[in-house]
Structure 1
Amino acid sequence: MEAEQSVLGGLMLDNNAWDTVAEVVLEQHFYSGNHRSIYRTMQKLVDDGRPIDVVTLSEELDRTAELEQAGGLEYLVSLARNTPSVSNIRAYSEIVRDRALLRQMIEVANEIADNAFFPEGRASEEILNEAEQKIFKIAENRPNQGGPEPINPLLKKAVDRIDHLFNNSDAMTGTTTGFDDLDARTGGLQPSDLIIVAARPSMGKCIVAGSTLVDPRTGAVRTIDEMVAQEDGAVVSLTNDFKLVRQSASEFVDDGIKPVFEVVTALGRRIQTTLTHPFLTGNGWQKLESIRVGERIAVPRVLPIFGDRRIETHRLKALAYFLSDGGMTQSSPLFTNTNDRILADFTEAMLAFGGISVNRVNFDERAPSYRVSAKASDSGALRRRFAVALNHAMESCGLTGKQLAERLKLRTSTISQWRNAVAMPAPSGYTSLCSALGAGFEQATSRDFESGSARVNCVTAYLREQGVWGRSAPEKRIPGLVFTLEQGQIAQFLNRLFACDGGISISKSGQVRVGYGTASQVLAEQVQHLLLRFGIVAKLRSKHHHPRTQYEVEVLDRDSIERFIDRIGMIGKESAIEKARAILAAKRHHVNADTLPDTTIDYILQLKGDRSWPEIFAAKGLKCPEGYNSRLTGLSRRHLTRRRLARFAELLDDPYLEALAHSDLYWDPVVSIEYKGERQVYDLTVPELHNFIAQDICVHNTTFSMNLVENALMGTNKPVLVFSLEMPADQLVSRMLSSLGRIDQTKVRSGQLEEDDWPRLTAAVNMLKNKPLYIDDQPGISPNEMRARARRIVREHGELGLIMVDYLQLMSMKNGKSEGRTQEISEISRSLKALAKEMECPVVALSQLNRSLEQRPNKRPVNSDLRESGAIEQDADVIMFIYRDEVYNEDSPDKGVAEIIIGKQRNGPIGTTRLAFIGKYTRFENLAHSYDYGPDE
């Protein structure tokens, strides 16, 4: 208390001491409430340029009604009178500050203890993180201990630095980037600098507009165009152990117009992508440009996604029957079929609509056709019910027939006919009538109107509502509603489709086949997709011997046929299904299509090594089957089934083989890759897994930044800290091993290394071993958490050499306030700059670019292309952009070359540095260096 009194009294005696005190003490540092009030008022007087003394201070406190709370005039006089010495005011201020810090620590310590004693269900790790943040917050609230420095000591520092550089001409002024030209331009990555590295996500890895993806939340099928436009979407993604999971896209990328190629597989699945878009092969993720016809790519063997919606059974059957054997281009719906069981089921469904009659329209030798129309015999009753509802609604609204006619601009006699059940309005008149009389009238009459209208029956209205009415056979497609239905209803829908336009057949050799035929390619693809949801792998092929192309969906493998029989079936064809079931049950299980890529065999033989199979069997306590060695000799020339692979996985105790054997994947050979011209393309960024399922095919979506980390790590003994908000730590390390060891990253990811790769891997491991590299892969980390963890590394391991953040837009403030994403990015950007200054090391943060640059002829980025660019551009000391011309121009003369464009450098020149880019190693190199990478690189 005495120190607080001395500070306040000293300020009243010497106003010039304010600057000294303000550097040390904040208002909240005063323990006494009246002292805080006095200090706050003093600060206001200083800000207003007024003197601080007993008179001015008491007057201002009196004006704000705080004088009595502050102790009154007498107390202010005693403060000034009892101050020991103004010359010691800084020492008094430090006492006030130190006691305040101790009180804060006591308060926080009590809160930490309370949280530990009463965790209220929270995890200990969460409580620990909160405790650490509270402690660091105390330090953050301290006044800045720095201040303006006089010129002389600064001159000495500058001259000493110049002298040091002169005598050490090879010394870097900052942390090396590892790239000679870039170091020459920047002097390395400078301490306390915030360096922004920006590029467009995906860099050309895109799929064509109109490509479809399944929303795992609802079962709905959406186009990638819709997802990008709405910037919303969950996707199905593939894990590292080859299982399908639900993921949320974090970025939605409009990549403009680019050349695309169509990939068609043996199953008939097709997708259009750019050449740089990767597919999963036996050699890992490979760009399309590296894939050849005949190579197998991964597609899902099952997409177990269903919605939770239900519709009335008769409406579901109506869609299935009219999409298969229905005609929807005449005045009334027609249905043609010869199966009595199907006809009975169809008729029952139609009559359930109400006010409907089903009548045969041809009696010749052709297959019978049935017209679905409004029931004529009921039309009088429908008109009478409509008239009663109309008169009641008019009475409720207080309208006469003349008034209603004037409102609708009709003759009074027309209204009279409706009111007396002589006629019903046309659709346009009914719409106007509902607008005039309200929703209650429409609800009471809609069903009768649909049934009684001479121009539209309720079945036609329903088909039109679902978007299928008026479509010819080649134009038919399944409405979006069906994809969101629950599993049982989708099975029932497929049951009716296959019952009409499909069938189950048994050849003379006993081969069982399930097939579905249609003139619509889209409908065939949709049926193939819906079967996939049940784990039924179907092949789609086209037949051209008909006057118009026909499309057939075939189910040929035993497991899929049995699933179809058990879970879907076909009404009216039960006897054929039971016969097929019996034949399959009597057959030995044989697979000739659902097999693994040949690279799996190479991997097995690599695991086997020099051991004999009898030795391997003996190690497991098993007897090796006779002739096993000779059978395995042919492995490299035959495909391997999943069932057999599972036995190898168990025999060799290998988790990778185990994951492959029980994966959700089917390995589908590519049958064609054709150029389709330039198309609008899009892409998605999927955090962590970086892949998603589109068109029922697995497709994939930091290189330069991690090369900076590698080079900084090798060029300094200081710790390097990486915050990887997008990619898991183990994947990041795998990339570094690929880059440092110059090993194809797909081999590293799949583990299928060749003999000469192992020494390179060992060398890369040794290069990284015991290096002070620390990786934090917590998603959505905040600047406060980042600062706390950086401080911990400094405290435990010494001064940092580099901090890498991948990437800035994935950070969050976590302060409970939301003033818009732009404001949040501004705070994050300022925090990163403050982190660089506090840690006295370069902070490299990756950032994304706006999509607008894709619309420009010259796609080289500029500063304004930065997402939320204002604050980032202002806070950054250096801004670098990565540009590869080959991504945008297929015939670019600069293939294998990357431009590092410096768009801003606070203390140096801007310009462009060219580097070599080696894609399969995810590595940048000095362009002037020559390396023997083989003829294709």
Structure 2
Amino acid sequence: MSMSNNAVTANIPHDHEAEQAVLGAVIYNNDSLSDVASLLNPNSFYAVAHQHIFRAMLELADLGQPIDEILLGDQLRSLSQLEEAGGYPYLSELVECSPVSGNVPYYAKIVQEYGLLRELIATSTEIARKSRDPEQNITELLADAENKITEIATRTSSQNYRHIRDILVDSFERLERISNTTDEITGLPTGFIDLDKMTSGLQPSDLIILAARPSMGKCLSAEAEILLADGQVKTIEEIYHQQDADLLTLDKKWQFQLTKPSGFVDDGIKPVFQVTTKLGRQIKTTLTHPYLTLNGWKHLGELEPGDRIAVPRKLELFGKAKLPEQQVKLLAYLIGDGNLTNANPRFTNNDQKLRDDFTESLAYFPGLKVCLETSGGTRTPTLSVSKDLDWLQSQRSVFAKRLEETIRGKKISGRALAGELGVSPSLISGWIQGNLVPNAEDYVKLCSLLQVDSHELTNYDIKKLSKNSPNSLTLWLGKIGIWGKNAHEKSIPKSIFQLEKSLLSLFLNRLFATDGWVSVFASGQCQIGYASVSEKLAKQVQHLLLRFGVIAKLRERMVRYQGEYRTIWQIEVTDSHSMETFFREIGVFGKEDAIEKAQKQLKEKGYHTNTDLIPLEVWEILEKAKGEESWNSLVTRAGLKGTSNIHVGKRALSRGRLAALAKALNHSELLSIAESDVYWDKIVSIQFLGEQQVYDLTIPETHNFIANDICVHNTALALNIAQYVATKSDAKGAVLVFSLEMSKEQLAIRMLVSESKVDSSRIRSGNLEQEDWDKLAMATDTLSKATVYINDTTNLSPYELVTICKQLHKEYEHGVAMVMVDYLQLMKGNRPNQPREQEISEISRSMKGLAKELNVPVICLSQLNRALENRTDKRPQLSDLRESGAIEQDADIIMFIYRDEVYNEDSPDKGTAEILISKHRNGSTGMIRLAFIGKYTKFANYSEQSPYDD
């Protein structure tokens, strides 16, 4: 008899499938009964059949017998309940409903909660019935109601209370063990002598919080584009495989400089979000990826639409490659107004000046002729480029004459030559008469047999002399990858990005001459623009303008074309400084009059902007910098007009006004911001895209680089502790590491570097010597024997994490010795859509509960908020913990990592770190110093620094 949902009433709270899952799990794995028996009793189940089955399970367990379909059926039959329970077939069906063992407590909790709800309904109904009795004593009614509700409430949690005498017995035994040992370390040793002295090791059931500045790791989608020093634009995936790059990074003075990555990491498949800014720049990153704000680097998860992030205002990198100017012009013309999908290239434009320039540039390519097509003046003039047959025949005649002379000089007959080449004599005759030319393969053989260079027989590539081959312009367009592309598919070839500055300027000049414009509107506003139906092309143009310091906005528009609407991508330049730069550095061929008009208007109107502004947060820095001086006084000293109209804290400052105030205050940081290489762009959308391949780059010192024209941006100590516990302590249990940010492979490499003491840069590059291989082999052997388990599942909830820990604790012979979570803020709450503060509180309590339940130390990494960045003393404080209230309350120990060299380049404490113990529930607080050896990603005892510091 199959027990379907139709057998129960749907209006009463219950979950038939959850009940089946619990019962099926117990039959499948009898150990599951201990997980659910503390939560459930037979009445927790709604279906009568399930009540009978669970009661029979408990009875079998009490008798010490296994629980399977046969024994369970026999037990039910002995109670005359087998038929009511569904019979043997239903017991077998339950086994099929068995879930993953780790999920059993979850289903048991569902069954428990529905059972309590039914009890609550029944109790409430009874209370309501009694309340309607006018003879009922109100005091007795309230007391009875309270008792009944309290009785239900007490069943929602396990009865884990113990008499104090039992607790004291355990405590006394622990004190005896401690007193009988001479070792000061009563918990798990960390490997750091001074830290162990202060904490006596990591104690069982303790929650330890380890916090530092936010991680500088980066995580970008594979197609993210990065500008290199030679002008190339490569994807981060290409750079990862290349394992080398010279790229831009933003220094502490807000200026771009060249750097080399020290690490290239394949970070696997991760959830990716697309960030779009008001300028139309886009980038795809993980939620933990940092973006630069005026208040420092912030993970994407901390940002929202409306926030301003730093993007480059200029990327002054140009290549050294050269191309003939004629090729540069033709390419720009054909990308803009060319047809590249017909038999021959075609250029369509109304401007005679542009058509003449196009025709003159064609002289670079031999053997071409240009035909003007106007359809009797009814269509826009079009230049069609085709092969010049007269030229072709003349060059064939040159080839024929030289070939005949060479054969005669070598005294070789045509028949003999044909035999050597493996062709017919008639073909040789056709060559000599100028009617035919050999194909490329035969031509190479011919030159080899005649012992001549290829240019001795013809002035041009032999392929250009074939009547069936494309014309020379088409061949070149095919070679650079744009021939056959329609308007939506057009893009700028890679070679253009490496051109020297003057040629890149020429390319943009002619490109804007096609689908570009320079306008002065009735309002007096000026605009430079360019439009294309190709999104990729428009983004490339936006990027190339940035090379010259021209800030352009990219937006999507719908336009009407031939009675239908279609999407175009429009580039707009409206900033006065950017327009002046464009006119000076680039210009537009054929639009000189429009440029002159715009320049005149800009000069008369003067500079003002409502977009190129400094974020409002700069007022906080100004407020502190000015001290007691009044705003009126400061503005007057700065030489700014309108002292009463500065709108302190309400209106954003322009770069010029901030620079004036900074100079008046003699404030170098504010002046650096005002004169920085960044533009503060507003986020307009953050869109989840799903899971994609992502990569990381590690940038030394500055920890940031430029990707898609956006500025993008400490596990070591905790990992060192976990590694020591697993490899060098006496702990027999497993060390379980949850890495919600880094991949398993990344963590393994870090541990290998730390254990082997081989320079991490050599491991990443593969430039290893025999001594390195020996060290790595020994380290691999040591780590392979260590009981370290790494889980890199992203977005874990506390419930999922705790379940995994309990499962390993049960399965592994010696249980779990320590748990490490990297990091706490990357976990998600058990319940969706709850406030972040409540979510963090729930996560924190769960981690403390895990430590108590398994009786092991749990180390959780946490991040700091950015308040410390605005203090003179950057040492972290308890108040700097992000969502600190719940974390501070639940933690037994809170430790901070502070490295002075991160903030001060000339720090006398380079190569060291301060570990600040700011909370210690059962001991003292204070500071200890450790050595930090960056090339090994390793902390060490301070006295041990010199052996590693080579």
Q: Same fold (TM over 0.5)?
A: yes
Aligned to 2:20: none
Q: How does 1:345-384 map to 2 (within 5 A)?
A: 345-364=357-376, 365-384=378-397
CA distance in 2, matches of 1:562, 1:688: 36
The answer on whether the counterparts of 1:266 and 1:539 sit within 8 Å (CA) in structure 2 is yes
Q: How does 1:214-613 map to 2 (within 5 A)?
A: 214-216=227-229, 218-364=230-376, 365-391=378-404, 401-402=414-415, 405=418, 410-425=423-438, 440-441=453-454, 445=458, 447-454=460-467, 455-546=469-560, 547-613=565-631
CA distance in 1, matches of 2:692, 2:415: 59
CA distance in 2, matches of 1:220, 1:498: 22
Q: Deviations over 1:581-620 (max 9, x none)?
A: 11211222111110011101222123234431355479xx
Aligned to 1:645: 658
**Which one-letter code corresponds to 1:669 in the other structure?**
K
Aligned to 2:131: none
CA distance in 1, matches of 2:197, 2:414: 89
**Which one-letter code corresponds to 2:619 in the other structure?**
I
Deviation at 1:164, TM superposition (A): 8.2
SS at match of 1:583: helix
Aligned to 2:678: 665
The answer on whether the counterparts of 1:326 and 1:336 sit within 8 Å (CA) in structure 2 is yes
Deviation at 1:808, TM superposition (A): 4.9
1:624 to 1:685, Cα distance in 2 relative to 1, 3 A? closer
Question: Please, which runs of 5 or more residues in structure 2 have no aligned partner?
Answer: 1-176, 725-752, 801-816, 833-838, 848-853, 866-879, 894-950
Aligned to 1:33: none
CA distance in 1, matches of 2:768, 2:510: 50
Aligned to 2:768: 821
Deviation at 1:209, TM superposition (A): 1.1
**Which one-letter code corresponds to 1:474 in the other structure?**
H
The answer on whether the counterparts of 1:252 and 1:683 sit within 8 Å (CA) in structure 2 is yes
Deviation at 1:809, TM superposition (A): 5.2
CA distance in 1, matches of 2:361, 2:572: 28
1:392 to 1:226, Cα distance in 2 relative to 1, 3 A? farther
Aligned to 1:153: none
SS at match of 2:694: strand
SS at match of 1:460: helix
CA distance in 2, matches of 1:252, 1:850: 24
1:448 to 1:704, Cα distance in 2 relative to 1, 3 A? closer
Q: How does 1:22-41 map to 2 (within 5 A)?
A: none
Deviation at 1:241, TM superposition (A): 1.1
Q: Deviations over 1:607-646 (max 9, x none)?
A: 234431355479xxx4987862x434x2322111000000
Greater displacement, 823-832 / 382-391: 823-832
**Which one-letter code corresponds to 2:768 in the other structure?**
R
1:269 to 1:172, Cα distance in 2 relative to 1, 3 A? closer
CA distance in 2, matches of 1:851, 1:426: 62
1:230 to 1:392, Cα distance in 2 relative to 1, 3 A? farther
1:377 to 1:638, Cα distance in 2 relative to 1, 3 A? same
1:487 to 1:638, Cα distance in 2 relative to 1, 3 A? same
Q: How does 1:117-132 map to 2 (within 5 A)?
A: none
1:494 to 1:624, Cα distance in 2 relative to 1, 3 A? closer
CA distance in 1, matches of 2:718, 2:249: 24
Deviation at 1:395, TM superposition (A): 7.6
Question: Please, which runs of 5 or more residues in structure 1 have no aligned partner?
Answer: 1-160, 188-196, 713-803, 834-843, 861-877, 901-909
Q: How does 1:855-894 map to 2 (within 5 A)?
A: 883-884=822-823
CA distance in 2, matches of 1:698, 1:318: 34
The answer on whether the counterparts of 2:638 and 2:660 sit within 8 Å (CA) in structure 1 is no
The answer on whether the counterparts of 2:526 and 2:598 sit within 8 Å (CA) in structure 1 is yes
1:923 to 1:599, Cα distance in 2 relative to 1, 3 A? closer
SS at match of 1:237: strand
Deviation at 1:236, TM superposition (A): 0.8
**Which one-letter code corresponds to 1:513 in the other structure?**
Q
CA distance in 2, matches of 1:212, 1:372: 35
1:930 matches 2:895:
no
Q: RMSD across aligned C-alpha pairs, in angstroms? A: 4.9
Deviation at 1:423, TM superposition (A): 2.1
Q: Deviations over 1:683-732 (max 9, x none)?
A: 111111110000000000x34528989xx9xxxxxxxxxxxxxxxxxxxx
CA distance in 2, matches of 1:255, 1:623: 50
Deviation at 1:569, TM superposition (A): 0.6
Deviation at 1:391, TM superposition (A): 4.9
Aligned to 1:905: none
**Which one-letter code corresponds to 2:316 in the other structure?**
P
Aligned to 1:863: none
CA distance in 2, matches of 1:396, 1:885: 86
SS at match of 1:671: strand
Deviation at 1:554, TM superposition (A): 0.9
Aligned to 1:919: 863
Deviation at 1:572, TM superposition (A): 1.2
**Which one-letter code corresponds to 1:370 in the other structure?**
L
**Which one-letter code corresponds to 2:703 in the other structure?**
H
Deviation at 1:823, TM superposition (A): 3.1
Match of residue 183, structure 1, among 202, 220, 228: 202
**Which one-letter code corresponds to 1:304 in the other structure?**
E
**Which one-letter code corresponds to 1:532 in the other structure?**
L
Deviation at 1:467, TM superposition (A): 0.5
CA distance in 2, matches of 1:346, 1:534: 25
The answer on whether the counterparts of 1:386 and 1:449 sit within 8 Å (CA) in structure 2 is no
Aligned to 1:717: none
CA distance in 2, matches of 1:888, 1:330: 56
1:172 to 1:574, Cα distance in 2 relative to 1, 3 A? closer
1:638 to 1:614, Cα distance in 2 relative to 1, 3 A? closer
The answer on whether the counterparts of 1:296 and 1:670 sit within 8 Å (CA) in structure 2 is yes
Q: How does 1:105-184 map to 2 (within 5 A)?
A: 165-166=181-182, 175=193, 176=195, 183-184=202-203
The answer on whether the counterparts of 1:613 and 1:624 sit within 8 Å (CA) in structure 2 is no
TM-score scaled by length of structure 2? 0.58
Number of paired residues? Answer: 620
**Which one-letter code corresponds to 1:480 in the other structure?**
K
Deviation at 1:343, TM superposition (A): 1.1
Deviation at 1:412, TM superposition (A): 3.1
SS at match of 1:447: coil
Q: How does 1:653-692 map to 2 (within 5 A)?
A: 653-692=666-705
The answer on whether the counterparts of 1:181 and 1:913 sit within 8 Å (CA) in structure 2 is no
SS at match of 1:548: strand
SS at match of 2:394: helix
The answer on whether the counterparts of 1:182 and 1:913 sit within 8 Å (CA) in structure 2 is no
Match of residue 631, structure 1, among 630, 642, 645: 645
CA distance in 2, matches of 1:244, 1:420: 64
Deviation at 1:916, TM superposition (A): 2.5
1:708 to 1:413, Cα distance in 2 relative to 1, 3 A? closer
Q: Deviations over 1:293-335 (max 9, x none)?
A: 0111110000000011111111111211111111111111101
CA distance in 2, matches of 1:210, 1:439: 48
The answer on whether the counterparts of 2:359 and 2:370 sit within 8 Å (CA) in structure 1 is yes
Deviation at 1:386, TM superposition (A): 2.5
The answer on whether the counterparts of 2:550 and 2:582 sit within 8 Å (CA) in structure 1 is yes
SS at match of 2:601: helix
The answer on whether the counterparts of 1:212 and 1:223 sit within 8 Å (CA) in structure 2 is yes
